[in-house]
Structures are given as C-alpha cells and as structure tokens.
Structure 1
Amino acid sequence: MGKIYVIHENDEWTDHLTKRLEELELPYELWHLNEGTIDLTQDPPEGVFYNRMSASSHTRDHRFAPEYAEAVLSWLERHGRTVINGSRALRLEVSKVNQYMALNELNITTPKTVASIGKAQIIEAAKKLDLPSFITKHNRAGKGQGVQLFHSMEALDEYVYGDGFDEPVDGITLVQQYIEAPEPYIVRHEFVGGKFLYAVKVDTSEGFELCPADACKIEDMYCPTDKPETTPGAKFQVLEGYYDPIIKKYEQFLQQNDIQVAGIEAIQDKNGEMYTYDVNTNTNYNTDAERVASIFGMLELARYLGNQLETVKAKQTNAG
C-alpha cells in the first residue's frame, strides 16, 4: 500500500527525520541520490515522496545529486505520485536568483542584487549597485559559501583577482546590498504543510558581520544540527507568540510555488523594513531551542508525511 520515500544526499541531516518516522511507526525508505539509475519505462512505487535535496550537496562531494534528483522528481511527477517539495521547490533550492524572482512576484522585498558570471563582470555588478557596502554570495550555495562583505571597490578587486576567490559551482556570483540591522540577529520562519509552524531568532553576533546572507550557516558556526547549546544566550531561540504580516505572504509564496516544507530567512534594517534573503526547502531544526519551546519541527513533519500517506492509501482503496 505504499510508504514514505525520503529523497536526500545527507545521512546526518536525515537521521533526525527517520527517528520521528520510527517513533510514529510509519513505513519509510531512504533514497540517497548521489548515484543511481532510473528505469524510465517502469512505474514508480506507490507512496509519498519527500524531497530533501540540498543546494550545498557539492560541498559533500555530491556534485550532481540535485541534477539527478530533478530527473527522479520528473519521473515521479509524470506518473502522478504525491511529491512533497517537488521539481519547482528544487529549482528554487539551487538558485537564489529563482528565489528572488518568485518572492518579488508577490511583492516580497529582497535585497538589491546583481547576478554576474566572470570576474570582470563581478566588478561591474558592484559598480552598478553603487553602494558604500555590499556583499558577494553564490547563487547556488549553502554553508554561507562565497559570502564576503566589502566596503570598497579596491577590496572587491583584491578578492576577485586574488588566490582566495571562491568560485561558485554554477558560475554565478551575486553582488548584493548589505543590510545593516540594529541588532545582530535574523529570523527564520518555519513552515510544514505550507503553514506557519514557528519562528526562530538566530543570534549572529559571533559570526560574519550581519548581512542578508546565510549568516546562520557560515562555516557551520550556526548549523541547527550542531551539538547542544550549554551556555546562556543560546544562538537559536523559538519566538513565543511571534506574528508578522509577512507570514501570510510567505504562505502564499509557498502555495504558488508548490512548496510544502521550508524555512524562510529574513532580516530587518534600522528603519524596520524586512528583507527576505533565503528560502531553504531542505530545512533543519535546532533541538535545544525546540526543547525549550516544546515544539518539534521534525515530529510535525513526520506527522504531516504520515497524513499524506494515509490520503494516498485512501485513494488507492477507493480506486480498487
């Protein structure tokens, strides 16, 4: 009658989900897509397929996992299988340009950004922005790849033509407006089933100068799956009673782009304007922050996948 299939390329990030699936006694199977084959002449198995492919797969020597995942998702969608975070979600996961265009379509503000290919073009992009401070970042990123803050064209030139230049895996470097926040934190909004679950405040005071980038992941300093926080002032804090009108826009954005599970990161400048700078369709949760708040993202996700599986089974029964 089917099971839950988890499409991924990172066992460590997937363990947190499989523990919850086992806790709820839900049948599942892991599809690690770094390598594999698809027989396009065969029908996929019945069940629910949850895509957790990450934009940072290349940092784990899984360079073509997203491309292979796209092929698998195309096969699943062609046969009408229930896919959570399907091909559209994957397309946004691996391209910040695609994210920003989709966000802007719903009038969600993103930082001013110029995309460029080529070192000379990166310099030209910064000139086009004409801002006193700006950052570079990779279009297809993860772990804060390529995030650098600059206060002058001279510093950018030295970086771009120096030995420390970080070449993007897809060749596209983004030159982006630097958002100066009054306090060193960003807010990550978590969604399961396309609905808001909770928001978490991420302290960025010990990392890179606060910017509209993957600040909570730079050099894995703030990775949600890190060891437990044992000191006061935890970097991750679930915000009790949090609400912002942007949540409704985010839910609309997720529905419009067929995304069911995501973490959306935003930052406010000193004037109170919110900038949305990252959509993570492969979301992780911080255990310690959740324990304090008594809310658990992976448990809610496992329940959601279980409900989707029950719906699939009901359809099969009725069809039979």
Structure 2
Amino acid sequence: MSAKVYIIHENEEWTKPLKIELEKQNVPYEDWFLSEGSIDLSDIPPEGIFYNRMSASSHTRDHRYAPEFTAAVISWLESHGRRVLNDSRALALEVSKVAQYTVLRQHGILTPKTIAAVGKDHLTKAAHSFDDPFITKHNRAGKGLGVQLFNNPETLAAYVNSEAFYESIDGITLLQEYIQSPDASITRCEFVGGKFLYAVRVDTSDGFELCPADVCQVGDSFCPTTEQEKPKFEIIENFDQPVISNYEAFLKANGITFAGIECIQNERGDLFTYDVNTNTNYNADAERKAHISGMKAIAETLERELSELKPIM
C-alpha cells in the first residue's frame, strides 16, 4: 500500500476545504473521523503523513471523547515512528488554555493575568483578585465558549449561581483580565509549516464568536460586498510584529506545524496573546480579497511532507 496523507478530525465541514485542495494537487489522502472507534495496539499503522485537526470544541458537536481517543491514536502512531503533524504535544495544548499560557510565557510571550478555578466558591473568591473588568472562559474551549465580561466580583457571583452558568467540559473555568482594544478588534496570526503565513484582523464588536470558518459566519452584515458594513475578517497587509519570531519558536518547540494564534493590543500598545488554535480554519472571503489561501498552503506542505517521507523498515 502506497503512503498517503491521513486527516485526523471530528468536523467534516471544517475539513472539506482541505480535501478540495488536496484533490486539486492530486495528493492521496484518507479521512480518519475520530469521534469514536477502536484501535488494536498490536497492529502496525499504515505508512504516511498524519495531520491532526482535532478540536477542543468537539464536545459541542456531541463528540465528547474525540480528543481523548485522538490522543490514544496519536500515541500509537508515534510509538511506531509515524510522522504526525500537530503531534501529541500540540493536542495537549489544544485542549488546555492553562497549558498554552504556561508554555507561551516560557517563550517570552505576554499573556493576560489568568486564574484557573474549579468549583463555584473558588471561582467567586478568585474574582476579588481583579480590580478592573475581567472575563470568564472555559479552559477546554473554542468558539468563545464560556466567555462573559464582568465589571466586579458581585456580578460574577450572581452569574455563577444562576442557571445561565455552565462549566467547562473539563471543570476548569478561567478568570482573565479584560484587555480592551481601542478599535474593538483582535489579530489572528496564521502559521503553516511552522512559519508565519499572514495575519487577519477580526472585528469583535459583535461578540466573541471568532471562528473564521465560513460555517461560523454570523450573517450578511459582515459580507465584504456590503458597502455600508465592514467585514468581520480582514487580512492585514505587511503585518510585522517582533512577537512573530517568538511564536515560531513556540510552535517548533511544541510539535505544532499548523496553527492560528490570537492576540490583542491595548491602548498602550501592549500585545497580549490569549489563544492557540491548532485546528486552524480560514475565512474564504478575506482570503479571496487578499489573493491568498491557507488551505492551499497546508495542502502544499502536506504534499511536500509526503514526497520526503522515507519508508520505515
């Protein structure tokens, strides 16, 4: 059997654009949809390149144990020396913002003040550590899960003890200082093959749902063909920040080949990094206007990796 690219994921909609690009370039691939399944640990994995696109938000699509099963599969693959892009270290960071922040800091990357808490009493007590507005978010998240803004501990306590409150799937809720952007935007830096590809400005004035994939779009109000409205996603020309080199070093040290890293700048110009997405997606409208394609770049990287693959004896 000839080697091919194996796509490890749990979301067909997010994977379709990649498959289209692989087919355009005649790259052989196989779909591994790991929402559930089984592996015989005595089996020998097929030869090929294994691209891990597992998402921290899988439980929102009723794929509760997909990350855990993926971790088991990747452990099996790595034990046989298979080439995994976004490997077991990357997966561990995908499903834990606490893990992300600790490792980002090791690479000289500024992150917001964050407290991790388990239990409502500990959560409400931790809120008193913030003098200024703060937000909550889920430790295992994606799609802005659990993000709420609070001005004081009292409003947080009322929320936590209401029916509106729901815990992170791993039980860890984060309290984080609120970084206010002067223009209500964040920046998402995209990396392919561990190298910077482009940065996209994301308008956050309408909320925290920041997934750039087309299936996460909020409606016609952000359509770039609508003259009276500004597009939600817009690729930044000639983006050049010193932190890019830190990001690339962080990715290399943690087995991350493909990622989107989100950051925000306050009114003083301080740049805070607050999220790493190893299951990165792209906005088609923004890319079309900028004449660039993230999925095409990923497909080209996978094709090159496959061509350079040496058979395991």
TM range (shorter): over 0.9
2:35 match: 34
Residue 106 (structure 1) shift? 1.0
Q: How does 1:141-290 map to 2 (within 5 A)?
A: 141-207=141-207, 215-217=208-210, 223-226=213-216, 229=223, 230-232=225-227, 233-290=230-287
State the alpha-carbon separation in 1 of the partners of residues 137 and 130 from structure 2: 17
| SS of residue matched to 2:125 | helix
Task: Identify unmatched segments of 5+ residues in structure 2.
Answer: none
- Equivalent AA in structure 2 for residue 15 of structure 1: K
| SS of residue matched to 2:250 | helix
| SS of residue matched to 2:98 | helix
Task: Identify unmatched segments of 5+ residues in structure 1.
Answer: 208-214
Residue 225 (structure 1) shift? 3.9
1:301 to 2:307 alignment: no
Deviations 1:253-308 (A, max 9, x none): 00011100000000001100000000000000000110111110000000000100
Residue 181 (structure 1) shift? 1.4
State the alpha-carbon separation in 2 of the partners of residues 197 and 130 from structure 1: 36
1:11 to 2:12 alignment: yes
Asked if the contact 1:225–1:287 (Cα under 8 Å) also holds between the matched residues in 2, the reply is no
Which 4+ stretches in 1 moved above 3 angstroms? 222-228
Residue 226 (structure 1) shift? 4.2
| SS of residue matched to 1:7 | strand
Residue 216 (structure 1) shift? 4.3
Asked if the contact 1:180–1:269 (Cα under 8 Å) also holds between the matched residues in 2, the reply is yes
| SS of residue matched to 1:237 | strand
Asked if the contact 1:225–1:285 (Cα under 8 Å) also holds between the matched residues in 2, the reply is no
- Equivalent AA in structure 2 for residue 231 of structure 1: T
Residue 205 (structure 1) shift? 1.6
Deviations 1:3-40 (A, max 9, x none): 00000000000001000000101100000001111010
| SS of residue matched to 1:140 | coil
1:86 match: 87
- Equivalent AA in structure 2 for residue 290 of structure 1: E
Residue 142 (structure 1) shift? 1.3
Moved more, 227-236 or 171-180: 227-236
Asked if the contact 1:93–1:280 (Cα under 8 Å) also holds between the matched residues in 2, the reply is yes
1:211 match: none
Q: 1:181 to 1:303 in 2, by over 3 A?
A: same
State the alpha-carbon separation in 2 of the partners of residues 96 and 109 from structure 1: 14
- Equivalent AA in structure 2 for residue 19 of structure 1: I
Asked if the contact 2:213–2:284 (Cα under 8 Å) also holds between the matched residues in 1, the reply is no
- Equivalent AA in structure 2 for residue 181 of structure 1: S
Asked if the contact 2:50–2:83 (Cα under 8 Å) also holds between the matched residues in 1, the reply is yes
| SS of residue matched to 1:156 | helix
| SS of residue matched to 2:308 | helix
State the alpha-carbon separation in 2 of the partners of residues 12 and 18 from structure 1: 11
Q: With structure 2 as the length reference, what TM-score do the two structures score?
A: 0.95
- Equivalent AA in structure 1 for residue 198 of structure 2: Y
Q: How does 1:2-151 map to 2 (within 5 A)?
A: 2-127=3-128, 129-151=129-151
State the alpha-carbon separation in 2 of the partners of residues 149 and 226 from structure 1: 21
- Equivalent AA in structure 1 for residue 92 of structure 2: R
1:311 to 2:312 alignment: no
State the alpha-carbon separation in 1 of the partners of residues 37 and 185 from structure 2: 41
State the alpha-carbon separation in 2 of the partners of residues 133 and 224 from structure 1: 31
| SS of residue matched to 2:32 | strand
- Equivalent AA in structure 1 for residue 110 of structure 2: T
Moved more, 223-232 or 134-143: 223-232
State the alpha-carbon separation in 2 of the partners of residues 97 and 84 from structure 1: 22
Asked if the contact 2:213–2:282 (Cα under 8 Å) also holds between the matched residues in 1, the reply is no
- Equivalent AA in structure 1 for residue 104 of structure 2: L
Moved more, 279-288 or 177-186: 177-186
Asked if the contact 2:132–2:177 (Cα under 8 Å) also holds between the matched residues in 1, the reply is no
Asked if the contact 1:53–1:66 (Cα under 8 Å) also holds between the matched residues in 2, the reply is yes
- Equivalent AA in structure 2 for residue 36 of structure 1: G
Asked if the contact 1:134–1:150 (Cα under 8 Å) also holds between the matched residues in 2, the reply is yes
Give the percent of matched residue pairs that are identical in Structure 1 and Structure 2.
56
State the alpha-carbon separation in 2 of the partners of residues 11 and 234 from structure 1: 26
Deviations 1:82-109 (A, max 9, x none): 1000110000000000000000111200
- Equivalent AA in structure 1 for residue 37 of structure 2: G
Asked if the contact 1:225–1:286 (Cα under 8 Å) also holds between the matched residues in 2, the reply is no
- Equivalent AA in structure 2 for residue 23 of structure 1: K
